[in-house]
Amino acid sequence: MPEIHHKLLKKYLKDLNEDPEKQFAPVYLIFGEELLVRNAFDELLEKMLPGAGRSASYDPVEGAVENIYEVIERINTYSLLGGAKVVAMRESKIFYAQQDKSRLLERSKNAYDNDDLIKAAKYFLSLLGNLNLFFDDVDKSNRQKALNLDPGLSRDDKWLDDIIGYCMEKNLRIPDPADETVALQRAIEKGFPKNNHLLITTDIVDKRRSLFKTIKDRGVVIDCAVPKGDRRADRMAQEDVLLQKMTEILRPNNKEMDKAAYLALMDMTGFDLRTFCGSLEKLIDYVGERNSITVEDVESVLKRTKKDPIYDFTNAIAERQFEKALFLLNSLLEAEFHPLQILAAITNQVRKLLLAKDFAKSPRAKGWSAGISFNVFQQNIIPSVVAYDQSLLKTLGEWENSNLNSADNDTASEQGKAKKKSKIDTDLLLARNPKNAYPVFQLLKKSEQYSTAELMAAIGYLNEIDMQLKTTSQNPKLALERFIFRICAPQKKAQSSI
């Protein structure tokens, strides 16, 4: 049977409805992005058990942790009223393995923070099962060693005490993933009673596992995954999903959002589908009877929620937030970001600020000030930014080709060939994507925090730190903290320390 993309689910269900010879599969596996998985599950369940017939024929597996043997027993029991029966394993951990330890621990903590002890316990018990640990192995004296906790999670581990206490109070069983996986696979291979169906949802799968291959062979796999990377193909896939959800939310409310507002919203949320959709609903409420949502609405209503620790850190430096930058630096180092990676991110940010400052002081920036609105910037200033970038590319091209011609002149003469101009490939541009003007607008505003002299001095400091980290045994944390103090600290202190 097939593995289908979530976009094709409606067509799949339509084909089932139109062809009486086609039947629902005995087992469905829906995996990937949480919100897309939930929507696909609801849509599928509605078709399998429409309306009032669901109450007696839908059997979700409840509790803090799924019991596969209980699931198998239920799926092999006929419905009381006859007809179709659906057993559901939602947010299953059946595909989790030891290498997913950090994911399970993080999700357990997030569920605990959201006052959902049942879900927190479910993730934590799956973690213990995957690591072959018991409650005694994770008591106060052994916890750090057994779980190898991230410092951010171990600093205050009362949450773990609460989860362990809840599990023991409810007599919850630590699962054996290997045994339960085999048992479920054998049950699927054996087959269920006619009209009985199993629905499994999860965030991740391992397609190499024999369980996955069995489900795909005997049932239907619905792929709701969205790539999380930063490649062009990944970003296009993410934007495709966001645009689809935006249309689904705006159209019934008779609202529209222009490209600038959409880009500003995406810049604030990143690819966090739940936050993106929730933000759209807030904006719909905010604009009231007005049909159009603008970038000013986005700026007024929403705060940045993009989960990118490097971005947050470099943004704190750009905004000259001294204490926040130090705090985020410490967080990055605790999360095992390499010091040279952090240094490269700082350098990239300072270079961008210096470029923005140069544009702001140039004759092309006529009409620019930090107080203008985004719409004015987009209409009047961004064309000048593009012209500035083109001028910069031309200058760089002339330098590059001048150097090449000088170095290779003799060789070119001997070969009797004209030297081709080299194409300049550089990230030293203000508007790499002129259609997305909002980040450029923000960068220019942030550059107002610094003078040109301060940014030039920062480049010198960064060169010094680069040499120190690569050639000496100096503590990287101290070197990076010293830079933050020099560049971000209040002006009088910063000057006295240089």
**C-alpha of 387 from chain center:** 34
Q: For residue 479, which of 463, 494, 468, 491 has the smallest C-alpha distance?
A: 468
CA distance 347 to 480: 12
Q: How confident is the model at residue 133 (pLDDT cuts 50, 70, 90)?
A: confident
pLDDT of residue 434: 75
Alpha-carbon distances of 172 from 123, 346, 401, rounded to whole Å: 12, 48, 71
pLDDT at 214 over 50: yes
Share of the chain above pLDDT 90, in %: 27
Say how many C-beta atoms besides its own lie within 10 A of residue 95's C-beta: 20
Q: For residue 484, which of 328, 306, 340 has the smallest C-alpha distance?
A: 328
Full set of structural domains in the chain with CATH: 3-93+177-224 (3.40.50.300), 98-169 (no CATH), 232-301 (1.10.8.60), 309-392+427-498 (1.20.272.10)
The single residue listed with the structure tokens 């094709």 is 8
CA distance 389 to 401: 18
| Position with higher pLDDT, 104 vs 28 | 28
**Helical residues (DSSP H) of 67-100, grouped into ranges:** 68-75
pTM over 0.95: no
Q: Which residues contact 106 (CB under 8 A, 6 or more apart)?
A: 153
pLDDT of residue 492: 46
pLDDT at 447 over 50: yes
pLDDT at 127 over 90: no
Q: Is the dihedral of CA 385, 387, 391, 396 positive or negative?
A: positive
pLDDT of residue 76: 92
For 282-289, the CB contacts below 8 A with 24+ separation are 283/257, 284/249, 284/250, 284/253, 284/255, 287/255
Report which DSSP code applies to 115. Answer: T
pLDDT of residue 495: 41
| Position with higher pLDDT, 423 vs 293 | 293
- Segment 11-28 shows an average pLDDT of 91
Q: Which of 203-217, 304-318, 324-338, 399-413 shows the lowest per-residue confidence on average (mean pLDDT)?
A: 399-413
Q: Which residues contact 272 (CB under 8 A, 6 or more apart)?
A: 305, 306, 307
| Position with higher pLDDT, 374 vs 257 | 257
pLDDT at 494 over 50: no
φ, ψ for residue 89, nearest 5 deg: -110, 100
The encoded tokens of residue 474 equal: 């100096």
Task: Provide the residue type at 341 as one letter.
Answer: Q
The encoded tokens of residue 306 equal: 């993009």
Q: How confident is the model at residue 378 (pLDDT cuts 50, 70, 90)?
A: confident
Highest mean pLDDT among 8-12, 201-205, 434-438: 8-12
DSSP 147-172: HT--HHHHTT-HHHHHHHHHHHHTTP
DSSP 301-342: H-------HHHHHHHHHHTT-HHHHHHHHHHHHHTT--HHHH
Share of the chain above pLDDT 70, in %: 86
Burial class (CB in 10 A: 0-12, 13-18, 19+), 207: exposed
pLDDT at 250 over 90: yes
Average pLDDT of the residues of the chain: 83
Highest mean pLDDT among 152-161, 226-235, 275-284: 275-284
Say how many C-beta atoms besides its own lie within 10 A of residue 483's C-beta: 21
pLDDT at 182 over 80: yes
Structure confidence by residue, pLDDT tens digits, 32-68: 998 999 999 999 999 998 876 677 789 888 654 557 8
Structure confidence by residue, pLDDT tens digits, 229-247: 667 787 888 888 999 899 9
| Position with higher pLDDT, 66 vs 493 | 66
Q: How confident is the model at residue 100 (pLDDT cuts 50, 70, 90)?
A: low
CA distance 19 to 103: 42
Task: Provide the residue type at 54 as one letter.
Answer: R
pLDDT at 344 over 60: yes
Alpha-carbon distances of 91 from 63, 119, 319, 375, rounded to whole Å: 12, 9, 40, 44
pLDDT at 300 over 50: yes
Structure confidence by residue, pLDDT tens digits, 389-442: 888 888 777 776 666 566 555 555 445 545 455 555 566 788 777 777 778 888
**C-alpha of 140 from chain center:** 33
pLDDT of residue 26: 95
In degrees, rounded to 5, the angle at the alpha carbon of residue 113 between the alpha carbons of residues 112 and 117 is 25
Report which DSSP code applies to 366. Answer: T
Helices 309-318 and 438-447 pack at an angle, to 10 degrees, of 40
Alpha-carbon distances of 417 from 342, 397, 402, 406, 482, rounded to whole Å: 45, 20, 16, 15, 53
C-beta of residue 317 within 8 angstroms of C-beta of residue 325: yes
pLDDT at 475 over 90: no
pLDDT at 208 over 80: yes
